[in-house]
Amino acid sequence: MFDIKNHRLFQNGKQVDYKPTPNKGSTITPEWLVMHYTAGGSYNGAINWLVNPAAQASAHLVIGFDGEITQLAPFNVKTWHAGKSFWKGIHFLNKNTIGIELVNKGFNVGAGDDFIEARHKNGGPIRKWQTYPQVQIDISAQIAVALKDKYDLSEVLGHDDISPGRKSDPGPAFDMDQFRGRMFGRNEDDNGGLSEVGVSDDLAIVDTGNPDDSLNMRRWPSLESAIIEPIPHGAKVMVIRRNPGQHDKWSEVFYNNQIGWVVTHYLK
């Protein structure tokens, strides 16, 4: 679906929208990918700001809620997305990274927004964090794979990994472990299921305690998250991971060609 020609992104043979930013530097050799959120809900607003010289900021791509894509600079040109940053002995990572901005409000959640409640991995209070639509994640993951293949990228990181304490994006609503798995090995097949690469063989039975009840599989590990679909009592699910980190009461599972989260207590 995605291809890169002359450091420009193409989707189904057609170049994606391109709006050049003046906020850029010299040629780079990309090594890593860095994911960001825009901290706002407007796709056009984010683009307009990142092409404004007054912003003193930019990125290579902006991806909207519905999977819209705009490229702001060739992938081999430095953009100003990382700022003061550090990873593996290297400072100021604009010089070796590609930056993707996902339209997302972060913890600036408004009425009607889907969200999870969580504490950031780097600390701070429990907050509401806007969730990322699945289409946005899927498009981003497909682009990440194309970038990895083109530039032999070895890492995908969050802005909060390379600037901890200073930056909070892409935040706890962005499942970096799953995204990293899709970029570097655990890809989805054409039917929306998982390939065998890197997938756990841990099978579990859903036990709700009542044959007439079902277990809700949710988009994110939170009772406030949207329900993907109910899983019937007695159904088998593939467990991708159990009780990870801050989500120690949840498990990520694969069921009916979908990935989601369930309360671990109901898996036997």
The catalytic site residues sit at 101
Handedness of CA 137, 66, 190, 33 (dihedral sign): negative
Euclidean distance between CA atoms 249 and 140, whole angstroms: 28
CA nearest neighbour of 251 among 185, 182, 203: 203
| 45: enclosing H helix or E strand | helix 43-50
Euclidean distance between CA atoms 182 and 192, whole angstroms: 12
Handedness of CA 130, 136, 138, 141 (dihedral sign): negative
DSSP state letters, 132-160: PPHHHHHHHHHHHHHHHHHHT--EEEEHH
CA nearest neighbour of 208 among 217, 196, 199: 217
